[in-house]
Amino acid sequence: MKAGIVVIAEISVAGLTPASREVISFAGLLAESAGESILLMVPGYFPDIHKPSCHSASASKQENPPGSKGELGGFSYKEAEEIAMAAGCDVAVLAGDHLSAYSAEAWMDALSPVCREINPRFICIPHTSRGWDYGPGLAIRLEASLIGAVEGFRLDTGNFFFKRSFLKGQWQMEVLPETWPVILTILPEAKGTEAAAPLAAARSAGGRGRQPRISFLSVPAKDLRTKTLGRLPAPETAYDFSEAEVIVAAGKGIGTADNIDLIKRLAGVFPKSAVGCSRAICDPGWMEHRRQIGMTGRTVAPPLYIACGISGAMPHLAGMRNSRFIIAVNRDKNAAIFQVAHLGVVEDLSTFIPAVLELMENKKQESSDD
């Protein structure tokens, strides 16, 4: 197995996760610029591939994987093939009993010997709650450089510059790796990963028109200091946003808890509306957690999203950027929310919303006077 670019994928019952597919696209662009091939690594529980009796210290190759259907709770050989076909590049399946439930320690243990052996230049990981969990530790184990929440890259005189945002998206920095490999956690919606041409770049750069090859590595379980106990659903039943045509969402910029009422009154102007919020509003208890929109909350895409006092930091954008129309109201004209908004209002909410409500009231009176 050789590759200049390794992509570490996350899989669910539906196959490759959308974030993983985006990273494959990103890797495709990187592959074109760097002239490297791509290998997709898929850690997981593949019961008909994995040999539980294997206890050797390093991952051992298995030549002839059985083709039988998978058992409940794991992935079958056929599913591994489907993942490879969808990715369009060579795939290395890392199969282990202990990889059925995610833990950073188990993933780092499984991935680091294989990555060391392949010795790629780039290791691309989705910037998900898992990717940024195990990515840094993997970087230390591989003595790699590490760049998180990457939005894009630029090749200049042989150097790769990776772009990331900070200060709530208002500023950007370019980071230059000085050690190889470099581990990149790639933000969903990173530039150049448009869903319109999914994985095409990866196909041309990694697959080169031939059938993707799948190899299987059986990863023996080790005694770990992290024991996975199970999963819990999101704590409260999430609020149903699906019926709403308009979502009015509040962020930290509303200032005080008293202004929640203004947000609700603004939502009341629209016949089919719902009220949501960013994490900063739930943490002090100003609104229930089930109304939270963003990476650790709900993902919504209503016809109209009105962001009130929301700065537009990446975790919130992840949950609402696919809304059809976005109106942002914020006092700070530099707020990152305006980067994704179609219509921007630079105003203080405590004066802007009352002005809107007053106009609506006047309109009503005019029509009743008629």
Partner 1 sequence: MKILVCIKQILAPELAELSGRPEIKDRDKDPFLPMIPSPDDNCYRLNPFDEYAVEEALRIRDSFTDVTVDALSLGPMRCRRVLLRALEMGVNNATLLRLDRPPFSLTPFETASILAAYLRDKIYDLILTGVMAEDGMNGQTGQLVAALLDMPCATAVISERLLSPHGPIYVEREEDGGERATYEICLPAVLTIQSGINRPRYPALSHVLRARTQEIVTLEAAPLLPTPRERIVNVSRTESSTTCTFIAGSLAEKAGQFLDFCRQKGFLGP
Please list every residue from 3 through 62 that binds partner 1, using CB under 8 A: none
**60 in Cβ contact with 218 (< 8 Å):** yes
Supply the minimum distance, in Å, between the C-beta of residue 160 and partner 1. Answer: 11
Q: How far is the CB of 253 from partner 1 (least distance, A)?
A: 8
- DSSP line for 97-114: GGGSS--HHHHHHHHHHH
Of the ranges 47-55, 91-99, 202-210, 234-242, which one interacts with partner 1 (CB under 8 A)? 234-242
Contact between 233 and partner 1 by CB under 8 A: the answer reads yes
Rounded to the nearest whole angstrom, what is the least distance from the CB of residue 319 to partner 1 in the complex? 9
Q: Of these, 35, 158, 209, 230, which contacts partner 1 (CB under 8 A)?
A: 230
Q: Rounded to an integer, what distance in angstroms lies between the CA atom of residue 85 and that of residue 88?
A: 5
Q: What are phi and psi of 77, to 5 degrees?
A: -60, -40
Pick 167 or 200: Cβ nearer partner 1:
167
Of the pair 63, 366, the CB lying nearest partner 1 is at 366
Task: Tell me how far apart the 2 most distant CA atoms of the chain are, in Å.
Answer: 86
Q: Please state, as a whole number, how many other Cβ atoms lie within 10 Å of the Cβ of residue 357.
A: 15
Distance CA 88, CA 202 (A): 7
* Least Cβ distance, residue 74 to partner 1 (angstroms): 18
DSSP assignment letter at 211: P
Restricting to residues 131-190, name those near partner 1 by CB under 8 A: 132-137, 139-141, 143-149, 161, 165-179, 182
| Closest approach of partner 1 to the CB of residue 358, in Å | 8
12: how many CB neighbours lie within 10 A of its CB? 10
Selected from 27, 304, 307, 308, the binder of partner 1 by CB under 8 A is: 304
Tell me the number of residues near partner 1 by CB under 8 A.
102
Contacting partner 1 within 245-284 (CB under 8 A): 245-246, 269-271, 279-280, 282-284
Of residues 307-346, those binding partner 1 (CB under 8 A): 313-314, 325, 327-328, 332-334, 336, 338-346
Closer of 173 and 200 to partner 1 (Cβ): 173
DSSP annotation of 225 reads S
Q: Is 208 or 231 the residue whose CB approaches partner 1 more closely?
A: 231
Burial class (CB in 10 A: 0-12, 13-18, 19+), 133: middle
User: How far is it, in rounded angstroms, from Cα 267 to Cα 114?
Assistant: 53
d(CA 303, CA 69): 42
Q: How far is the CB of 210 from partner 1 (least distance, A)?
A: 34
How many residues would you count in the chain? 370
Rounded Cα distance, 83 and 89, in Å: 10
Q: Do residues 253 and 352 touch, judged by C-beta distance below 8 A?
A: no
Q: Within 95-114, which residues bind partner 1 (CB under 8 A)?
A: 101-105, 108
What residues numbered 198-227 form the site for partner 1, per CB under 8 A?
224-227
- Report the nearest approach of partner 1 to the CB of residue 44 (Å): 15
